[in-house]
Every structure is written in structure tokens, then in C-alpha cells.
Amino acid sequence: MMAINLSQNAGLDIRSRLQFSQPSQPTPSQFLNSAFSHCNLSSQSEDVPMSQDCVNLPICTQPDVCTQDYLCTPDYITPAEQQYNNESNPQDHNGKHIRSPLPISPSRIKRTRRTGSVLNPENQSQFSQPDRAANPASTSGMTPGAEWGGFAKPEDKPPQMQRGTVRRNKSPPTFRNLWLYGPEERPAGRVPQPQAARYRSDFKEESILGQGNFCKVYRATSRNGGREYAIKRSAQPMASDAEKLQWLQEVQAMEALDPHVNIVRYYTSWMEEDKRGSMYTYIQMERCATSLGIKMSVLKEAFKEAELVEILRQMASALQYLHSIGMVHMDVKPDNIYTTVDGNSYKLGDFGLAMLVKNHTAAGRLQEGDARYIPQEVLNDDLSRLDKADMFALGATVYELATGTPLPTGGKTYHDLRQGKLALLTSFTAPFQKMLKSLMSPDPAERPSAEKVLASPLLVKKAHKESPAYGGLVFQPSSRA
């Protein structure tokens, strides 16, 4: 039989923990050896009778001896002094099974799993289940649901605390385009929401192109594409829902437009918050060179008749397209007419006051624009012919560029202009002055439409002539949208 070599200290420690078999009781191996030693299992002769000692074998009374112990060779592995009892005693070692390795191993403490997450840092002090191995008696006075982090059932936990759940950001609302699909009944509180900050990450700000009371326009270069754009940013943070909805109206107006050679092209728009939490709006548009208002007031440039005729023709083309889809601009003025980078064409921009018109009836509330370019009937709250109001503003714009003097904001001259009393322009031809007088007529019915302006002899015969009388310039509109 094999013996186990134990040191003196280790032997004392194990013997103090384990119970050994009684010396008077043989081990299963000793019992089998004594039983099979009296048997003759030789297969040489079938006639040899078995020994009487082998027939009268003692009956095994050991409860844990298996049948295979009678059929196999003697067990030479089990020590003579067996370490474990074959019978369990539930009273040994504080009620734990003697064969369990727990009493002879240090107390195992289960690693706690926190139920908190990055989304809920305040819940990180809670554990998914109590440490019963470290403190078994702590569960005696436990309240119902304490093993689930303070909740009665696992499914009662918030979604962000349940295992296997993923918190997804709520999608921003989608709005119906007024000009494409008609107005909608928008529920209260449904306004545009800020999106991920992208101005500094997607664009490199080069310079400022212009600014007004409500916005600033920057020249910015796309970091990925390398193309320059005009980024219109609100001058002040969006403090109310009305301001957000007004910005949304401008975005939807530009979104509804097809590319036109005489309208500033729109690309995309978004809202984002700065580091202080203030919300600003952004509109990405086609970059232009400068506005006619800057050329007149800052650069002090004098416009000749040929250039003014070309401005009149291209802006009439833009208004013809807008009126054909039921949209009125309501803010035509030199500050909103831009020259392209190549200088070959002019583009109409700034659709913040655009309105939808159906059957000569305006849908929505008219926003107050620049009073210097508003006709008298609109000032009297007559909104029946807003398309003719755009034609009055176009005539007032060309008249201001021809005089080189800003239009008055009040007084006698202000009212004279709305009565059709224009100053004589000695440097310009009679057909040109007649066109301006008809556009600024006090009666909306007498003002020509955009189609009639384009078909007038002034624009048809002299728009593309190269003549010293018209400044010696030839304007070829760009085919790029």
C-alpha cells in the first residue's frame, strides 16, 4: 500500500480537520483482498469445484462499496488510513459537509458587480447582489428586494440599469415642408432640436463676409472637400421657440427651391450648442463675392445703366421662378442681392421672410421687413397681391442703386416714392426710367409681373449689347446653379 508523506506541521493541521476511519473497521480494499484470497478463479478446468470458502463469502455491509470493486483489481491507490469518511455528518464543521473543500480553504469573497453605468454614475455604489460569502449572516434581516439592488424584482430596475439594454439617443423631430406639402398642425412645443456640433469640426473659418442685426455670414472652407462655403450663423442665441420656428421657415423655403442660376444655392442646415449651452443656428450656402448694398455704401461704386438693366433682368428671372411655385420673397433689397465670385451673375438670397401664397392669399403671418422697400398697400395690411409687392421692392432697389443714395425711412420723400413720384435721373434713358416708374406704381394692378419685365423691349433689345452708352459691359449669366 502507498503511504502519504506529510510534514509534521501539515499532518497535524490536516489531522485536526479530518476524521479518520476506526482501526477496527477494514477498508474496502482490505475487505476485498481477504475475500478473493479464498477463491479459485482459474479457468483451466471447468470441472474443478469452487472452494467452500469462496462460496460462503461474507456479505459486504459497507454502504459505499460499489459493484466494480468486486470485479477489478485491488485498490493500491487509496491510502491505508483513509482521509475522508464515506458517511457524511451534517453536524461536523459547523454543519458543512466534511468532503467540501470550503473549510480547508480561505473564505472566498465573490467579486461584486456594480449595477451603475456611465449613464447613471450615482448608482455605481449599489451592487447587483449582496456579499453573502463574506458575511453570511447579513441576509437575515434583509428587506424584500435588497438582493436586487433595492428593487423588488429585476425587471423593476430602470432600463439603463438592466443587463443587456442599450440606451439610444432619441431621434430629432421631422417637420413637414410648408412649400412642398402644405401647412401642418404642429403640436405645441415641437421645435427644432440641437444636433451634434459640427461647425468647428467640419469647417475652417476664414473670414467674415457680412453681418446684420440677426445673423453673421462667414467664409468657411470644408475640411474634407476643401471647397469654400458661406455659413450663415445667428447673431444671438435662440432664446424662444418663435425664433426657432422662424429659422425653420427660412430653411424649408430654401429646401423647397430647385437650383436656379439667380438664387443662392442651399446645402444644409443645423442647430448646435456652444460650450456655454447657448443654441445657435447654421445654414450652409453657396459662397458669393459681396452684396450690392456693400458695393454701393462701402465701396461707393456707381452703377451704370447696362449693369442695372442686367440686375433687373436676373432678379426678375429669380422672382418669376419664386412666384411660379407660390412663394414670395418679401425682402428684396440691395443687401440681399449678391454677386458671384466670377462676377458674371447676381443671386437673390436671404429667405427669412419668404411666404407661401395660394390664390393671391398669404398663408401665415407676415413678418416685418425693411420698410423702405415695402409698398403702401402692404403697410395698410392689404396682402392680396404680395407678388406685386416683390416687384415694387425690385423697382425700389434698382432706383436706389441708380441714385447712389440710400432710400429714406420716413418723411415727405418716403411718401412721394409710394405715390409714384420719382426724381428725374438725367444720366439714364427714358425707357429705363419708365420701367422704374411702372414698377413703383401705387396701384398693384399697374405694376408689371416678372414675366412682363423679362419680355419688355428694354431687356430684350439692350440686355446683351456691348455699347459705350451702356457702360461697355457684356454680362453673361453663369450656367452654374
**3-class secondary-structure state, position 255:** helix
Q: Please give the backbone phi and psi of residue 311, each rounded to the nearest 5 degrees, phi first.
A: -60, -45
Please report the pLDDT score of residue 37 as a whole number. Answer: 61
- Mention every residue, 6+ apart, whose C-beta is less than 8 A from residue 406: 297, 372, 400
Q: Burial, 226: exposed, middle or buried (Cβ in 10 Å; 0-12, 13-18, 19+)?
A: exposed
Characterize the bridge pairing of strands 327-328 and 355-358: antiparallel
Per-position pLDDT tens, the chain of length 481? 444 444 445 444 544 444 444 455 666 667 666 665 655 554 444 455 555 544 454 555 555 555 555 555 555 565 555 555 555 555 555 555 555 554 544 555 555 555 544 444 454 444 444 444 444 444 445 555 545 455 556 566 666 555 555 566 677 777 777 777 777 666 655 677 777 788 998 999 999 988 888 899 999 999 999 999 999 999 999 888 888 888 998 999 999 999 999 999 999 999 998 888 889 999 999 999 999 999 998 888 889 999 999 999 999 999 999 999 999 999 999 999 999 998 889 999 999 999 888 755 555 567 777 999 999 999 998 888 899 999 999 999 999 999 999 999 999 999 999 999 999 898 999 999 999 999 999 999 999 999 999 999 998 865 555 444 444 334 444 333 3
C-alpha cell at 372: 423702405
Name the 3-class secondary structure at 206.
Answer: strand
Domains and CATH numbers, the chain: 192-285 (3.30.200.20), 290-470 (1.10.510.10)
The per-residue pLDDT for range 47-69, each reduced to its tens digit, is: 555 555 444 545 555 555 555 55
C-alpha cell, 312: 433687373
Please tell me the predicted confidence (pLDDT) of residue 337: 96
Whether 252 and 303 have beta carbons less than 8 Å apart is answered as no
Could you give the CA distance from residue 204 to residue 198 in angstroms, rounded to a whole number?
A: 11
* Calpha distance 422→407 (Å, rounded): 12
Cα→Cα distances 420→34, 423, 439, Å? 137, 10, 9
pLDDT score for 118: 46
Residue 269 CA to residue 231 CA, distance in Å, equals 9
Kindly state the cell numbers that stand for 35.
Answer: 475475500
DSSP 8-class letter at 343: S
Q: Which of 386, 398, 377, 382 is nearest to 356 (CA)?
A: 386
What is the per-residue pLDDT for 460? 85
Active site residues: 331
Q: How many CB atoms lie within 10 A of CB 412?
A: 9
DSSP lists the bridge partners of residue 263 as: 348
- Which one-letter amino acid corresponds to residue 377? E
CB 205 within 8 Å of CB 220 = yes
Q: Each residue of 97-118: pLDDT tens digit? A: 555 554 544 555 555 555 544 4
Q: For residue 379, what is its C-alpha cell?
A: 403697410
- Cα dist from 39 to 34, 53, 59, 366, whole Å: 10, 7, 15, 118
